Chains A and B, each alone.
Chain A
Amino acid sequence: MENNTENFSPEDSLRVIQTMIDKTKTSVVDNSFYFLVWGWLVFSGALLQYILVVFVKTPANGAAWNVMFLGFIISIVRRVKNKPPRVKTFIDEGLASIWLCIFVVQILIVIIFLRRGDWEHCYPIFLILYSVGCFLTGRMLKFPPLVWGAAACWAIVILMTFVDAVTNMLLTSGAVLLSYIIPGYLLRGEYKKQLLNQPN
């Protein structure tokens, strides 16, 4: 693009504004990575705990959740290794704030349940928290699978009130599959599709 000022008409101005706004609209960021990492980790943690309770019958079944530390390591390594994005949108900033808040609240909930000892009630609380992140991300990115994932979480939370804590572990895996893992893969597909269609 040249810096044309001589023959630059108001009609040209409108065209430049429209073109630039269109190009910026397609500046998508691959948000699927964290959904997939944390989704698979929660899925594995809940399933592993179920196996430890039902088949291994060990009282130390809570150790299954140590897999979550992998998520911290992977997230930190990715953040350090990856270049910062070349553009930051207001949506990126809003999403980062939402997930930071969810992370802090999650740590607080873990502390509360560890101190109180009634961990069997923690699963629906965590799912409610995850659903908030899924729903808001889905709405902000205009990506319905995440919104549907959040709705699936709500339905499973209701279901959880009718079954015992051990079944809740299995239901947690199912909920995470529907709200994080499947939408995460769909989001990755969408990102790749948008990259192919990007004007620049």
Chain B
Amino acid sequence: MFKDLNPILHSQLRLAVVSILISVKEAEFTYLREKTDATAGNLSVQINKLKEAGYIDVTKTFKDNYPQTICKITPQGVQAFEEYVRDLQSYLNIKK
């Protein structure tokens, strides 16, 4: 039976962020913005949603007086992404 896709991940920008973070150890906010072509405001909102869901860890630091936001996927985020991909596969198989 087809399982509903995780609504937190089934969103273009949030999925893009998690897809990047799944393949790296950690990434800075500016890197995510550059790779996703998103606006800072929109990206910030979506990162907060992922953080609230427990899918990513966000660390804010200062380097040479400039704020730095570093994002890292959590084990819960990895599990959610894997489940999302599995659901996606089963959905696409049913469609075929």
Which A residues, 16 to 58, have Cβ-Cβ distances below 8 Å to chain B? 16-17, 19-21, 23-25, 27
Q: Is the CB of A14 within 8 A of B25?
A: no
Q: Is the CB of B16 within 8 A of A20?
A: yes
Q: B10, B11, B25: which contacts A90 (Cβ < 8 A)?
A: B25
Q: Is the CB of B35 within 8 A of A4?
A: no
B21 CB, nearest partner CB in chain A, Å = 9
Number of interface residues of B (CB under 8 A): 36
Interface residue stretch chosen among A5-13, A105-113, A116-124? A5-13
Tell me, yes or no, whether A2 is within 8 Å of chain B by CB.
Answer: yes
- On chain A, the residues within 8 Å of B63 by CB distance are 83-84
B82 CB, nearest partner CB in chain A, Å = 12
Q: Mark B1-21, 1 if CB is under 8 A from A, else 0.
A: 000010100111111100110
Q: How large is the interface on A (under 10, 10 to 19, 20 to 34, 35 or more residues)?
A: 20 to 34
- On chain A, the residues within 8 Å of B28 by CB distance are 86-87
- On chain B, the residues within 8 Å of A12 by CB distance are 12
B87 CB, nearest partner CB in chain A, Å = 9
- On chain A, the residues within 8 Å of B16 by CB distance are 1, 16, 19-20
A–B complex contacts, Cβ < 8 Å, 16 sampled? A1-B16, A1-B37, A2-B13, A3-B13, A8-B10, A10-B5, A13-B84, A21-B20, A27-B31, A87-B24, A87-B26, A87-B28, A88-B24, A89-B23, A200-B34, A200-B37
Which B residues contact A (CB, under 8 angstroms)?
5, 7, 10-16, 19-20, 22-28, 30-31, 34-38, 42, 45-46, 63-64, 84-85, 88, 91-92, 95
For the complex of A and B, the 3 pairs showing the least CB-CB separation, nearest first, are A20-B19, A86-B31, A3-B13
Which A residues contact B (CB, under 8 angstroms)?
1-5, 8, 10-14, 16-17, 19-21, 23-25, 27, 83-84, 86-90, 92-93, 200
